[in-house]
A and B are shown apart, each in its own frame.
Chain A
């Protein structure tokens, strides 16, 4: 949008100086220049997004094994990979876990992030220091958080259970060792990791809301909840969309955190599409099956992206 206005203006200011050249030639040159600016982006997109994407789709229809790396031959096998993956009970499980994980993480991260953002938007002593402390989880590499949390959540020697024990709350919760608890624990850790990101972006959004609106609301005698619902939330809507979309993109493809915490276990109770595609491609070396799961993951993201673009467009109007 912005680039076209800029390129359209530039030749207009330049034209009086030149000695009235052929308008057709001028237009052609202008078009060429426009393409010249677009070309690097197009080449980049094709090379680094288009090619791998197409390659991944093609690979999902191929019998792609370790042998392929030597012979370069990957015979097409129709929809064999797809039907194998879809018939595998683990795929359904992983899909369900991915949805639960994503929904749970986003809900928790967003609600707590928003609450903290609202809290910190008031000024109080040490507010700035506290706010920067809350950023810490964001600075810690995902794998490091995973390993540290694995220790914290250990059933016998973990700090969390010892703490609960001291409080008399029965410190024997099998956080990561029970198939019924593991997914919840992984979601909780991911919420902890995601709070700073949500808080920072939402806090930025809150700063943009004109103070006059709140003044007007208080003059009208609106309650705190009413002010939040009728001013803060609607004014924050574009920022909320961005936070949720970015959050979704980074959560749905989760791999590192789960590998570090549970390795997909116990008994596959924390297998997600991310870990499944990793396992298919890099443990079983069945790259075709891995590509199928990867494509499903891309498809889910794509559907969500379409909704996002739709929402943005209606908002723009």
Chain B
């Protein structure tokens, strides 16, 4: 048994067992040698992560097959252009930050990390990112809102390839049948949703789940009403929350709303259980798989006619973490410039249904994808979640989740938000 085991180990790692081979008693040495071989093997694979001169790595969250493929194609094109090989390492979105932090402590950071824009400030504040302007990236063609989106404390750390936001998706057939037009104000939305609620079908679906999804969905209501994340206990925020409560009270929203992610909301909409939904363009690919579903898209309704519809800006940014190797950082900067360049942005945006960050690419995109015009308008007025709070956003987000869930399940909005504000400021 042990003999077979050693021979296996020997073939796998010939150099490691060399010195131990000429031991005294064969029987005693064999298991020891096997163990050494295994340990040495493990150590060798550990060292295998040594940087290769022409190979650059990107850490991203493109774990979906299609996104992974689109990214791989873009990286191949940019790699050919710059004469390097670009590899991607994809981990689930929720793990990018912790993975990058662990890599930072073991001094094995990749050359480029793609962060969700709401997470980038945390990494930037820890001192982990390089100023992209110092690497020669220009922000001339990028709208100021999107430059802010990739900036922390005035420094431009993250280049967005595309951005997204939320919009109102509606089922054209259901609206036509009821002879209703697409709602534009809160009052209209409430009325339309109430009328469209029939049998097992709800008028509207949205996500008020206890995670970032729910907060993302609450922000357009909070912001369009003049509320702000720096003061959660203001009357404007309470009004927005009361509005959600009224939709729930009317029965236009399912009570399961508090347990839904944005993907669940999309499932409900596609299954015909909801006539309208609040969701983002990343669902379009899935929506289009059902040819019998005729959907339209509009800006998220505002409190009063004439108000601005302010949505949350979402999306990922490409960053260059500081590795201390300036030559590599410069090349990484060139790779970011290529991936976030006008041409690649357009390709990526057309694939993923997101809006290009670059103004000129966005103009072309509008012509090519006229059905998502409303989304491009919404993006133009959208705001970044971390613009005001930076790394402090995660505290506020957690407090806000708890608040709207409490309010939607019975508490008064004022009391819930008051507690949320206390929790957000105390840091717990």
Interface residues of A, Cβ cutoff 8 Å to B: 65-72, 84-85, 87-88, 90, 150, 154-157, 174, 176-179, 262-268, 279, 282-286, 289
- Is B428's beta carbon under 8 Å from chain A? yes
The minimal Cβ–Cβ distance linking B83 to chain A, given in whole angstroms, is 31
Residues of A within 8 A of B126 (CB): 65-67, 69-70
CA distance A154 to B405 in the complex (A): 17
* Interface pair A177/B255, CB less than 8 Å apart: yes
The minimal Cβ–Cβ distance linking A293 to chain B, given in whole angstroms, is 12
CA distance A88 to B419 in the complex (A): 12
* Interface pair B105/A283, CB less than 8 Å apart: no
Count of interface residues, chain B, beta-carbon cutoff 8 Å: 41
* Interface pair B273/A156, CB less than 8 Å apart: yes
Q: Are A88 and B273 also in contact (CB < 8 A) when A156-B256, A266-B210, A284-B398 are? A: no
- Chain A, residue nearest B127 (CB): A70
* Interface pair A154/B256, CB less than 8 Å apart: yes
Q: Are A69 and B254 also in contact (CB < 8 A) when A178-B409, A285-B122 are? A: no
CA distance A84 to B127 in the complex (A): 26
CA distance A282 to B98 in the complex (A): 7
- Chain A, residue nearest B119 (CB): A285
- Chain B, residue nearest A282 (CB): B98
The minimal Cβ–Cβ distance linking A288 to chain B, given in whole angstroms, is 12
Residues of A within 8 A of B408 (CB): 266
CA distance A156 to B401 in the complex (A): 22
CA distance A262 to B406 in the complex (A): 14
Task: Find the residue from B209, B210, B401 having the highest chain A CB count within 10 A.
Answer: B210
Contact pick for A265, options B122, B258, B268, B395, CB 8 Å: B258
CA distance A284 to B424 in the complex (A): 12
Residues of A within 8 A of B273 (CB): 156-157
Q: Are A69 and B104 also in contact (CB < 8 A) when A87-B428, A156-B254 are? A: yes
- Chain A, residue nearest B407 (CB): A267
Q: Are A265 and B209 also in contact (CB < 8 A) when A65-B126, A66-B125, A72-B105 are? A: yes
* Interface pair B127/A177, CB less than 8 Å apart: no
Residues of A within 8 A of B128 (CB): 66, 69-70
Residues of B within 8 A of A174 (CB): 255
* Interface pair A284/B394, CB less than 8 Å apart: yes
Residues of A within 8 A of B94 (CB): 282
User: Which B52-77 residues have a C-beta within 8 angstroms of A?
Assistant: none
Residues of A within 8 A of B101 (CB): 66, 69, 285
CA distance A84 to B256 in the complex (A): 33
Residues of A within 8 A of B257 (CB): 177
Residues of A within 8 A of B104 (CB): 69-70
* Interface pair A150/B259, CB less than 8 Å apart: yes
Contact pick for B409, options A65, A69, A88, A267, CB 8 Å: A267
* Interface pair A263/B428, CB less than 8 Å apart: no
The minimal Cβ–Cβ distance linking A272 to chain B, given in whole angstroms, is 14
The 8 closest A-B pairs by CB, nearest first: A265-B210, A267-B405, A66-B126, A267-B406, A88-B428, A266-B258, A69-B105, A67-B126
Cross-chain pairs A/B with CB under 8 angstroms, 10 sampled: A67-B125, A69-B104, A156-B200, A176-B259, A179-B405, A265-B405, A266-B258, A266-B405, A266-B408, A285-B101
The minimal Cβ–Cβ distance linking B32 to chain A, given in whole angstroms, is 12
* Interface pair A177/B259, CB less than 8 Å apart: yes
User: Which B85-109 residues have a C-beta within 8 angstroms of A?
Assistant: 94, 97-98, 101-102, 104-105
CA distance A266 to B408 in the complex (A): 9
* Interface pair B394/A283, CB less than 8 Å apart: yes
Contact pick for A266, options B97, B254, B259, B428, CB 8 Å: B259
* Interface pair A266/B395, CB less than 8 Å apart: no
- Is B427's beta carbon under 8 Å from chain A? yes
Residues of A within 8 A of B284 (CB): none
* Interface pair A262/B210, CB less than 8 Å apart: yes
The minimal Cβ–Cβ distance linking A271 to chain B, given in whole angstroms, is 9
Binary interface profile of B, 200-211, with partner A (CB < 8 Å = 1, else 0)? Answer: 101000000111
- Is B234's beta carbon under 8 Å from chain A? no
* Interface pair A283/B398, CB less than 8 Å apart: yes
